[in-house]
Structure 1
Amino acid sequence: MTGHSIHLRLVLAASLVLAAFLGLGGLALDKAYRESGEAALRERLLGYVYALLAAAEEDGQGRLTLPVALPDPRFSNPDSGLYAEVGGADGRVVWRSPSLLGRTYGQRRQVAAGVRDYLRYEDSGGSFNVLNFGVVWEDRSGAGLAYTLSVSEDARPLEREIAAFRTSLLIWLGGASLLLLIAQGVVLRWGLRPLREVADDIQQVERGARDYLAGRYPRELSVLTRRINSLIHSARASRDRYRHSMDDLAHSLKTPLAVLRGAVERESGEALRGLIREQVPRMDDIVQYQLKRAAAAGVGALSGPVPVGAVVRRLCASLEKVYREKGVVCERAVDEGLLFQGDEGDLFELLGNLIDNAFKYGRSRVRIRAGALEGGIRITIEDDGPGIAPDERVAVLRRGVRFDQRTAGQGIGLSVADDIARLYQGRIAIGASDLGGVAVAVDLS
């Protein structure tokens, strides 16, 4: 089943993140701009209050009054959007700015001296930002008179500024979003190009146009492509082994079958039975060898690391029970944490054949050593048996060759072990051990 496109997923995810980020950023900027505008407005209203107080005078009765020439011309122009009113402690109006001509002023409310009271006021005339400021005015006699100075400004100019800022912000954020979406599409397409190249190369391998993935891939994909190549190699090697083993099996069985066919036509009685007893074990030997050879898995992409020490320990424990009557002592010296990169069954088959031979031909001692080599591992199996003559050491690796005809067996163990070692680009070397018998060294990649 085909899943969703990685490119589509990344584009959707990036778009959602971008929309959320820009949306939150836009809200934060809008809020900051509004708060900044309102703070500036409050400072401006307070400045108007201070300017009016600086221009205030005392009339003939000792009360606060303001001159005709006011600090800001808008206080003198009717319906200018800037208004002021002074009220006494009893709530009565003491002074009104000329800009309030023909208007009612309901924004003022009494506050204590030094208190700043900011509020938003709305009526039929519109919305206003208001500051009520309490003061105490000392007359000539030193008595203090309480007043509330109220200044209000039309809120529409600030709202228009905020609306204009929002429009500009939306335009810029929208343009930035579009550019970022285009940029991320280009970047994602460029970033995912190696994946498309791998997919194209795999299709070429499927079509038979190439044998392996041989492109120059990024470091993040190199592990994947190596595993795929290893899997391809393993599958082809397994297929070739089965084909070759079956071909060899068919070829190897021709001779014993021809012998039996001729014997059936020519011989009878005891002579025929003797030929059958001779040829059937031979055919069984051939079949076992070819099947074991074909069943070897070889190194594959899915092969996990196999602890060598655990395999050696299990094999020795089993063989010590099998050869209990001989009293063979198995000495193990396997490096801690030594791992075999391959199929566990192959390692059991390989070491099982070699250790079994050591128990079989050894007199009382078997020694197994294993350690790491550059690019692989080495396992050495020694015994204190009769040993193998130097001129026979190569021959015993061939199928059916046994150097001791008195011991039961068909002579295929070492040849199977040698085939498995070759599957892992390794080799088996037979030499002499200081125990007096054979030393079999296995190198595996």
Structure 2
Amino acid sequence: MKMSLGLRLLLSAALATALALIATAIVFNVLFRIYFEDRARSELETYLTLLSGNVSVSAEGDIEVAPISDPRFEQALSGFYWQVQIDDAEPILSPSFWASPLVLNRPQTPGVIAFADVTTDTEEVVAVANWVITVGEGETRREVFLAVAIGRADLDESVARFTTNSVLWLAVLGLFLFAASWIQVRLGLSPLQKIRSEVQHVSQSPKERLSSDYPSEVLPLVDEVNKLLDANDAALKRARSRAGNLAHGLKTPLTIMHGIERKVRRLGNDGLADDLMMEITSIQHIVERELSSSRDSQQVLRRSDVSTIVERLHKALGRQPGAEHIQWDIKLPSPLMLPFDEFDLTELLGNLLDNAVKWTESRIAVRGGQDGKDVVLTIEDDGPGIPQSEHDAAFSQGTRLDPNQAGAGLGLSIAQRMAQTHGCVLSLGQADMGGLQVRLSWSAAEAGRES
């Protein structure tokens, strides 16, 4: 499956944006957690320092702890706790501490703060800062193990709330960036759309060229396309010139051969005259084929009326020897426009009607009109027809289904090639009168767009 350039760019931008936003969300979350952890440790260190300053030893050697200025240490289950322990004695707990004392590893080095996360017996997780200090002097000198704890629920909730909010806003940012990428892709590819539009215009008016109103990155492509069109135009002119020279060069010999054919026929040698006429017709057919190929068959949008051309071909073909008995049944709306110039349509219909004249017994019918979404032209005869199995072979160049019949086997091949060049469909079928039906169709929507 081929993917458009715009879709590729849009998917690439969306993927890059999504990866960048996901990485940003992860980094923000990690940095925010580190920031809160540092803030919590700084707060614990401050409270531990305050607690250390409020601890003293009485003359009797008892530890005394003055209240800390933060009232949360006095409020039960506030999430702010402290405990003080001398040696292996029972710890002294803050009024807010209703759980059992914290089980902590005593630091080996006095004066060095240790941090840890501890779960209380009430399943509350707290962040703890603790250290060992020396209090008192002389005989009252004691090593005191101090710890301050803050519940992690508020910390974790703040981090989770930040994560949720950051993901939400990053998602909004992602939608905005996706919309911006879409606009950027559309604007970036607009020169290509303009090239496409101008190329379509050039196909209708071959003398036109692409304009130079493009970004510098696209101009080289535009210049190459214009050079290609110029080269194609020059080659077409040369081909037309050669074809004209060919036709002019063969005109005199063919005229002489026609004179010979008439002279032979007057001498009573009709068989030889017929053979000579067959070869003359073949040469004329081949010349006309090459002339048709050399014309600008890409000018699809030049349209011609079928009825006038069919009428002219009917008069010409009806005067051929042996065609006087043929009954022509022509019913065509006027106008019935097909996407050919007059020369190409004459070449195409000439081949098809010439075939019908060769194979018919006595009747040829030509019909035209709109059939659903298509404009249709049919040519039927009451001859032997062509079996379904031989339809493909009939379109092969140089194939003659009946070797005894005059011709070079090029008519249907040329007609099909011309039809395809002009965006039409040429098909074979069974005529109602028993012979061959040749059906030429093209889109009625295209016909309406070009009218």
Instruction: Give the whole-Å Cα distance in 2 for the aligned partners of 1:144 and 1:261.
Output: 141
Unaligned 5+ segments in structure 1 are 266-445
Map 1:197-208 → 2, pairs under 5 A: 197-208=194-205
Matched, 1:145 2:137: no
Q: Find the counterpart in structure 1 of residue 45 from structure 2.
A: 46
- Within a 5 Å distance, the mapping from 1:107-186 to structure 2 comes to 107-112=103-108, 113-123=110-120, 124-141=122-139, 144-186=141-183
The 2-side partners of 1:210 and 1:147 are apart by 101
Q: Aligned pair 1:226/2:223, yes or no?
A: yes
TM-score by structure 2 length?
0.53
**Which consecutive unaligned segments of at least 5 residues does structure 2 have?**
264-451
1:347-382 Cα distance to aligned partner (Å, 9 max, x none): xxxxxxxxxxxxxxxxxxxxxxxxxxxxxxxxxxxx
Q: Which runs of structure 2 are paired with 1:10-409 in the superposition (5 Å)? A: 10-67=9-66, 69-89=67-87, 91-100=88-97, 102-112=98-108, 113-123=110-120, 124-141=122-139, 144-208=141-205, 211-214=208-211, 216-252=213-249
Q: State the TM-score, normalizing by the size of structure 1.
A: 0.54
> Could you tell me how far 1:49 is from its partner in structure 2?
0.8
Superposed CA RMSD: 3.0
Tell me the secondary structure at the aligned position of residue 121 of structure 1: strand
SS of equivalent residue, structure 2 residue 166? helix
How far 1:39 sits from its partner (Å)?
0.4
* Whole-angstrom distance in 2 between the partners of 1:19 and 1:210: 48
Secondary structure, aligned partner of 2:84: strand
Taking the aligned partners of 1:210 and 1:242, their CA distance within structure 2 comes to 17
Contact 1:75 1:98 in 2 (8 A): yes
Query: Percent identical across equivalent pairs?
Result: 26
1:107 deviation in Å?
3.7
Letter in 2 for 1:76: E
Change (3 A) 1:206 1:107: farther
Counterpart of 1:6 in structure 2 is 5
Cα distance in 2 for residues equivalent to 1:257 and 1:66: 131
Query: 1:63, CA displacement in angstroms?
Result: 4.4
- How far does residue 38 in structure 1 lie from its aligned partner after superposition? 0.6
Describe the superposition over 1:215-237 as per-residue Cα deviations: whole angstroms up to 9, x where unpaired: 51211111111111111121221
Q: Kindly provide the amino acid, as one letter, of the partner of residue 231 in structure 1.
A: L
Greater mean deviation of Cα atoms: 15-24 or 166-175: 166-175
Which runs of structure 1 show a deviation greater than 4 angstroms over 4 or more consecutive aligned residues?
Answer: 252-262
Query: Matches of 2:21 and 2:47 in 1, distance apart?
Result: 38
Aligned to 2:318: none
Question: Aligned residue pairs: how many?
Answer: 263
